Copies of this chain bind each other. A is one copy, B any other.
Amino acid sequence: MPQSAARASETRQWNRLMDLAEIGAIAGNGVNRQALTPGDRAARRLMVGWAADIGATVSIDEANNLWLRVEGSDASAAPVLTGSHLDSQPKGGRFDGAYGVVAGLEVIAALHDAGIVTRRPIEVVAWTNEEGSRFAPGCTGSMSWAGTHDVHHWDEVRDQEGVYYSTALAEQMKAESDLPRRPLGSKPYAYVEAHIEQGPILEAEALDIGVVTGIQGSRWFTVTVSGESAHAGTAPVSLRKDAMIEAMRAILALSEAMHDPEDVLRFTVGRLAVSPNASNSVADSVTFSIDLRHPDTETLRRRGDTIPDVVRAAMRACTVVVRESFHADPLAFAPAVIDQIEQAAHAAGFSHRRIASGAFHDAQFAARVCQAGMIFVPSRAGISHNPAEFTSAAQLAKGTEVLLRTVLALAG
């Protein structure tokens, strides 16, 4: 069966991405479609409809991961799995995650159009809550599936409105009770995820494709500084237990301590909440997040391990609690999958290079279950987690062409 018989459609793929981007659209071409929201549900319904058009079977598992499946000729063969996520950051773009799911759909649509049946089944998955912006940490769907944690591990995690992850998950499962269920966990032959680079390298080097060699490691911490509320007009400054000022001291001390002359270590405080958050009350509590990433296991461990001491040293009258909520070591993808992607890019005539991922992805957890790899397409100016995120229809189509060739090679 000649590979040239199957053609991914640049136009169909772009139109579907734009249809998805209308769900949760925000100013500046952005998307706010956080996990387990009505927008997330609406996006999944679009996907279910498109899957039905090509006769793919749809199911969901206990972690609300959404699965589309087309059968192969060998009923006993392990499937080739591709996909990504449909949830976005609160001020996210149109391509992060959604591209990988739509590209996976485009692969099975192209095979359907060409009447091609592979030996192995092909599955397309939309993982639940990759972003972790509403419910931290991210990748709870792929972690539940990979068995790194039980699906109930995050039951007590709450969003900023106080809604529990377990409640939001149950609500979404109920809203999708018409969809067939499949067991959580499976053993694919391989996993390949297409994604935008979210960094500036491919664009800067004018390349079509990034053959991803691995993902840098991530550690997430939550820091809570506790002081005492007091009246802004009466409490002498010298006697205050001001959680705001001491949290600021801690964050700036961390910013200095995490300085990396090579600019490889990524230190971010992106989320911060103040209590009571009134202009004329001294803050009694400030909670903030730390996101730390590095491609080297040992460096990530060593730098991250200093965080509690740095924070404690910044305290004067307040107390502090540091909790680590997530720790993923750097990951190297399977050489066989890396080679396969590289060959596919070469055969398609696209320019390419090997590249490490700065962002983490569901592929990080899929790689614990089977051989895995990722395909990157360029991100304009490296901008992501931002409405200005952009990759052209032609660039996205090239990534999908490589994905199609890779999936075909793996599925036989």
Contacts and interface: CB of A to CB of B under 8 A. Distances in A.
Most buried by B among A231, A234, A276, A360: A231
Interface stretch (A12-20, A116-124, A264-272): A264-272
Given A232-B266, A233-B360, A90 B198 contact: no
Query: How extensive is the interface on chain A, given as a class?
Result: 35 or more
Contacts of A255: 245, 248
A291 B284 contact: no
Interface stretch (A43-51, A132-140, A179-187): A132-140
Interface of A: 89-91, 131-133, 136, 138, 160, 197-199, 216, 218, 220, 228-238, 242, 244-245, 248-249, 251-252, 255, 259-260, 263, 265-284, 289-291, 293, 357-360, 382-386
Contacts of A277: 90, 160, 270-273
Contact of A244 (B197, B228, B251): B251
A233 B274 contact: no
Contact of A385 (B273, B281, B384): B281
Contacts of A290: 279
9 contacts: A89-B280, A132-B280, A218-B233, A230-B383, A230-B386, A232-B268, A234-B358, A237-B260, A237-B266
A282 B270 contact: yes
A251 B243 CA distance: 13
B237 A263 contact: yes
A288 to B, nearest CB: 8
Given A233-B358, A233-B360, 9 more contacts: A133-B280, A199-B235, A218-B233, A231-B359, A233-B359, A235-B266, A270-B279, A279-B289, A282-B385
Contacts of A268: 232, 242, 279-282
B270 A232 contact: yes
